[in-house]
């Protein structure tokens, strides 16, 4: 898919690893200016900026916890200061803290909801006014197959990811008249650090349920996001795009 996003400013949360890293690379390849956030991987962030700069891509790495409203506002302000517009926002940063509800601690619940769901709220709220004023923009929020189907041991994660879907549909209705689209990508089983933590048996069980018979590569998810960020998707809003090899069926 050839997508041309030259002159567009893109912000990806959690861009140092996994799906976020693939997103940064895909947007850079499409000719966009790319800002990304990270929480603690500062070496990886610096390296990525150097690589992008060598490729002639304008890039910004911004440290901050997505769960903090002030950090979200400061990040969006910094992008606007540097590039004047924010054309595409991808809320990708996310964590898991798995455990059966019987054993799940309050901390595990709070950390996952605050990072995965409040993080999306924070960045969408910070981007709301600038995108409204621009009368255009594309917001893509990364949910999960688990937010649609549920998964034992992931009540906190599933709640955060299902919450993202309801949040995004509501925001799509709020911002539609300003030509700002809000969509969701729901990946299935993707090969990243997050899934590497799963036991071999959990990985096998997950793979057995994937009709396409293989895990997703981060680039598979990036292709779906890039499409929703492209002019080809101008008339799509409030949509949940499953990039899961058929897992949610
Ligand atoms: N992997 C899958 O199978 C899968 C499936 C469905 C959905 N997803 C979703 O896709 C997204 C990316 O997942 P992934 O597998 O690529 O994860 P990952 O490899 O664990 O990378 C997570 C990224 O998010 C950043 N991050 C985490 N917590 C943060 C916080 N509080 N503030 C700022 N940045 C934070 C990390 O930054 P640092 O490097 O600095 O820690 C890192 O860049 C997540 O929302 C996840 O829920 C993943």
CB 140 within 8 A of CB 88: yes
| Predicted pLDDT of residue 1 | 73
Active site residue 38: no
Q: How far apart are CA 21 and CA 48, in angstroms?
A: 9
With a 6 Å cutoff on the Cβ, whether 142 touches ligand 1 is yes
- Say how many CA atoms lie within 13 Å of 200 toward its Cβ: 0
Whole-number Å distance, alpha carbon 148 to ligand 1 midpoint, is 18
| Predicted pLDDT of residue 96 | 97
Residue-range domain boundaries for the chain: 9-243
Residue found by looking up tokens 């304008």 in the block: 58
Tokens standing for residue 58: 């304008």
| Predicted pLDDT of residue 206 | 87
Strand arrangement of the beta sheet that strand 240-243 belongs to: 59-63, 33-38, 9-12, 88-91, 137-142, 180-187, 240-243
CB atoms under 10 Å from CB of 132, counted, come to 16
Q: How far apart are CA 25 and CA 21, in angstroms?
A: 6
| Predicted pLDDT of residue 197 | 85
The string of pLDDT tens digits covering residues 36-59 is: 999 999 999 999 999 999 999 999
For residue 110, the SS3 value is helix
With a 6 Å cutoff on the Cβ, whether 97 touches ligand 1 is no
241: part of which helix (H) or strand (E)?
A: strand 240-243
CA distances from 65 to 14, 70, 87, 105 (A): 9, 9, 22, 21
| Predicted pLDDT of residue 2 | 87
Query: pTM for the whole thing?
Result: 0.98
Q: How far apart are CA 57 and CA 62, in angstroms?
A: 16
With a 6 Å cutoff on the Cβ, whether 19 touches ligand 1 is yes
| 19 CA: nearest ligand 1 atom | 16
Identify the segments of the chain with pLDDT beneath 50.
none
In the DSSP assignment, the letter for residue 214 is S
Q: Which fold has domain 9-243?
A: Rossmann fold (3.40.50)
With a 6 Å cutoff on the Cβ, whether 144 touches ligand 1 is yes
| Predicted pLDDT of residue 3 | 95
User: Residue 135: left (phi > 0), alpha (psi -120 to 50), or beta?
Assistant: left
């Amino acid at each position: 898919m050839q997508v041309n996003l030259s002159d567009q400013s893109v912000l990806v949360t959690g861009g140092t690893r996994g799906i976020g890293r693939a997103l940064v690379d895909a947007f850079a390849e499409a000719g966009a200016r790319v800002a990304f956030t990270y929480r603690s991987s500062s070496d990886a962030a610096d390296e990525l900026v150097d690589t992008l700069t060598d490729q002639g891509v304008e890039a910004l790495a911004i440290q901050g916890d997505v769960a903090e409203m002030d950090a979200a506002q400061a990040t969006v302000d910094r992008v606007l200061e540097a590039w004047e517009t924010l054309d595409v926002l991808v809320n990708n940063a996310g964590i898991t803290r798995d455990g059966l509800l019987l054993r799940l601690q309050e901390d595990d619940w709070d950390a996952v909801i605050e990072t995965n769901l409040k993080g999306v709220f924070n960045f969408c709220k910070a981007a709301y006014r600038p995108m409204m004023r621009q009368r255009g923009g594309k917001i893509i929020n990364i949910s999960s197959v688990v937010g649609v189907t549920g998964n034992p041991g992931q009540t906190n994660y599933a709640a955060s990811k299902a919450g993202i879907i309801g949040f995004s549909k509501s925001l799509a209705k709020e911002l539609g008249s300003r030509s700002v689209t809000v969509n969701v990508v729901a990946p299935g089983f993707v090969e990243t650090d997050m899934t590497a933590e799963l036991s071999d048996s959990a990985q096998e069980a997950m793979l057995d349920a994937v009709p396409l018979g293989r895990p997703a590569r981060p680039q598979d998810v990036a292709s779906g996001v890039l499409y929703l960020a492209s002019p080809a998707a101008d008339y799509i809003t409030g949509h949940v795009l499953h990039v899961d090899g058929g897992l949610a069926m």
